[in-house]
Amino acid sequence: MRTGGLNGTALRRLLPLVVFVVLAVLPYSTLQLPGLFDGVLNSPGTLQLLALCLIFGGVALSYDLLFGFTGLLSFGHALYFAAGTYVANLALTELGWGLAPALALTTVVGIVLPLLVGGVALRVSGIAFSMVTLATAQVGSIIVLQDPGGLTGGEEGLALDRDQVPDAFVGVLNTVNVYWLAVAYLVLVYAVVSWVTGSRAGRVWQAIRENERRVEVLGLQPYGFKLLVFVLAGLLAALGGVVHLLLLGGSTPRTTTADFTLGLLVMVVLGGAGSRWGAVLGGVLYTYLDSRLTDLANSPAVQDLPAWLRIPLSEPLFLLGTLFILVVFFVPGGIAGLVCRLRERRAGRRSGDGGPTPGRVVEQLRDQVGAGMGGGQPRDGV
């Protein structure tokens, strides 16, 4: 039984690698999936949709660092994604820089901007924190829409000057290269999140989510740890904005709105907050449904329906909102939570016996802090 358990753990750890390899070789496939995609898998249109899904899978995972792992409900995550796409675009289009310097500048902004916002917002907690992040995101949205100096393009967005972009990322025939860039971005985000959530800082984040006051009692300062995860999540989102810019060939003001962050929240809840693969799956599924439901709303099959049925089916947000409500009520914990419960039931365990119960992460952290300060050794099994 123990060997089987170890094998199961090894397989679960190996599964992300297998998935990433499959995604990497997907452009070599001519498989056609009617009903799911309009063309074969390696057609430019399908690869663009898949790349978009992978980008938002990574951005959703960056948001899950805040919401799922640390319990910080931010309504301003869109600000950092938008900063990534607009800063890189301005560096390429207005300053005439190459892609590498533009990426370096975006990285600096992706660190400094959340550092400044988080330094203020994290002075408060709860709904006050959410409102401060929302306010900063709205300021960013207003600046973009006001189009200061004609730099942001206002409501029309800002087109990318492709002369400054490497030829490998320009043109329909090179969509496959942008797709691989999206795969690389998702791999980067997943690897970083896997590493940091398994570190000491990651355990502190989970302890803060469960009981911040108990973390303070241990002699730790939650503010510094929360600021660290805030900056890291913002940086990962900004990098996603750069890949999004190369994929769509421009920056859109839609990425600056609070609705964009709410979409990320829906992605995380749909997939399962606090689960790495759940957040990615939620981001991929939400983005795919958003695209396909838009096509469905404009299809003749829907337009010929009676008004009482045509009107709701013509609104993708209505359908996605309905799906979100159903998941919250009938699948608590999202897709990842459902899979976990089914796995526990199949293994004959009581629900929750194998995972961190409330307070368990804090107790483990307390033992580690005590051991590190010479206050004793961790208990057996921790």
pLDDT digits (tens, 9 = 90+) for 146-185: 999 888 988 888 999 888 888 889 888 889 999 999 999 9
Query: What is the spatial distance between Cα 169 and Cα 249, in angstroms, rounded to a whole number?
Result: 10
What pTM was computed for the model? 0.86
What is the pLDDT, as a whole number, of residue 2?
46
Asked if pLDDT for residue 218 goes beyond 60, the answer is yes
Asked if pLDDT for residue 322 goes beyond 60, the answer is yes
Phi-psi map region of 359: left, alpha, beta (phi>0 left; psi -120 to 50 alpha): left
What is the pLDDT, as a whole number, of residue 372?
47
What is the pLDDT, as a whole number, of residue 331?
83
Query: What is the spatial distance between Cα 142 and Cα 257, in angstroms, rounded to a whole number?
Result: 9
Instruction: Show Cβ contacts of residue 377 under 8 Å, excluding neighbours closer than 6 positions.
Output: 371
What is the pLDDT, as a whole number, of residue 286?
92
Average pLDDT of the residues of the chain: 85
Query: What is the spatial distance between Cα 204 and Cα 104, in angstroms, rounded to a whole number?
Result: 30
Match 């838009």 to its residue by tokens: 294
Pull the structure tokens for residue 184: 């690389």
What is the pLDDT, as a whole number, of residue 305?
74
Give the number of other CB atoms < 10 A from CB of residue 137: 24
What is the pLDDT, as a whole number, of residue 382?
32
Asked if pLDDT for residue 7 goes beyond 90, the answer is no
In angstroms, the first-to-last Cα distance of the chain is: 21
Which pLDDT tens digit goes with each residue over 96-127? 899 999 999 999 999 999 999 999 999 999 99
Q: What are phi and psi of 144, to 5 degrees?
A: -65, -45
Pull the structure tokens for residue 164: 């400054």
Which pLDDT tens digit goes with each residue over 339-355? 888 888 887 754 444 44
Q: What are phi and psi of 159, to 5 degrees?
A: -75, 150
Torsion of CA 315, 316, 318, 324, to 10 degrees: 180
Domains of the chain: 41-372 (1.10.3470)
Query: What is the spatial distance between Cα 265 and Cα 89, in angstroms, rounded to a whole number?
Result: 26
Strand spans (E) along the chain: 158-159, 250-251
DSSP 293-340: HHHHHTSHHHHTS-HHHHHHHT-HHHHHHHHHHHHHHHSTTHHHHHHH
Average pLDDT over residues 270-285: 91
What is the pLDDT, as a whole number, of residue 172?
87
Query: What is the spatial distance between Cα 240 and Cα 192, in angstroms, rounded to a whole number?
Result: 14
pLDDT grade, residue 298 (50/70/90)? confident
Instruction: Show Cβ contacts of residue 240 under 8 Å, excluding neighbours closer than 6 positions.
Output: 55, 56, 58, 59, 62, 81, 84, 185, 189
Most confident of 13-22, 31-40, 114-123, 265-274: 114-123
Instruction: Report which of residues 233 and 16 the model is more confident about.
Output: 233
HSE of 29 in the Cβ direction (CA atoms, 13 Å)?
13
Pull the structure tokens for residue 36: 């799911």
Query: What is the spatial distance between Cα 124 and Cα 72, in angstroms, rounded to a whole number?
Result: 11
Query: What is the spatial distance between Cα 124 and Cα 76, in angstroms, rounded to a whole number?
Result: 15
DSSP 195-235: HHHTSHHHHHHHHHHH-HHHHHHTT--HHHHHHHHHHHHHH
Q: Looking at this protein, which amino acid is placed at residue 266?
A: V
